[in-house]
Amino acid sequence: MKTGAVVLPADRFTETFLEMDLLATASSVAVGLCAAEKGVTVTPPQPLTDPVYVSEQYYGPWTQDQAERFGFVKPMTQADLAANGIVADTPDPDDQAPPDGDLTAADWEIVDACGAAPESARFDDALRHVGPWYAELEAVKDQVLDDAEAKGALRDLEACYEQAGLGASSDGSPGWPRGANGSVIDQQQIQLALASVECKEQTDFTARVAAVEARLQAPIVVKYADELVQKRAEIDEALTAARALLADA
């Protein structure tokens, strides 16, 4: 609840958003170092560290912090909110031309070759999702609300919405009240999100549905335990190398 993260059994074996970004950043740094040796300068991004990336919606906002800050909009930084057109962009006077905008076609050939080199490819490889378990785990998301326990939790939540005068969404967004908008942050949406979170807390909706999803994931995790453990070890090894590379760079 404190971080706004819903942690399910399979999450222990896959990368978090921040881990994914760290590996992608390390790959870019490795490309930059390789290109520099060939006389081409590229600018890698900075790794993301904002804890907002840990927070996640689960059938809409489910914590008061999410509701107060974002309404029904997916939690993200102010820069991402501006980039997605949700809030007005405030120009930074220190902003300059986009990095790497003056690279030639020949320069980009060097950059692409560096991206395929083992020094950067190892980080990209750690992020590749190859294996039948990924499709099976993804399919679970579509099965959750077909479960009787989850259906009961959703009925209780929608009954709470009705009692609170909110009404349930009819646009195919289960768990959302009527009038919720995932692209707008204003006082009306914030108040509606707070009322939604209050109903979720009263009915224990999030924990009940997450328990169903965890139960549906469990046999898949058991079935592919060896492969998942091996993949997590690959991710951890790549993360160790990424942190070392960024520290040196």
| pLDDT of 123 | 96
Tokens of 242: 């990424």
Closest CA relative to residue 137, chosen from 248, 235, 216, 241: 216
| pLDDT of 51 | 87
Find the angle CA(12)-CA(61)-CA(210) to the nearest 5 degrees.
40
| pLDDT of 172 | 82
CA distance 235 to 34: 22
pLDDT, tens only, 143-154: 999 999 999 999
| pLDDT of 159 | 98
pLDDT, tens only, 153-183: 999 999 999 999 999 998 889 999 999 999 9
CA distance 147 to 208: 11
| pLDDT of 197 | 98
* pTM (two decimals): 0.86
Collect the ranges in the chain with pLDDT lower than 70: 1-2, 90-101
Distance from chain centroid for Cα 160: 29
Distance from chain centroid for Cα 7: 12
| pLDDT of 4 | 85
Closest CA relative to residue 55, chosen from 105, 5, 103, 7: 5
| pLDDT of 100 | 66
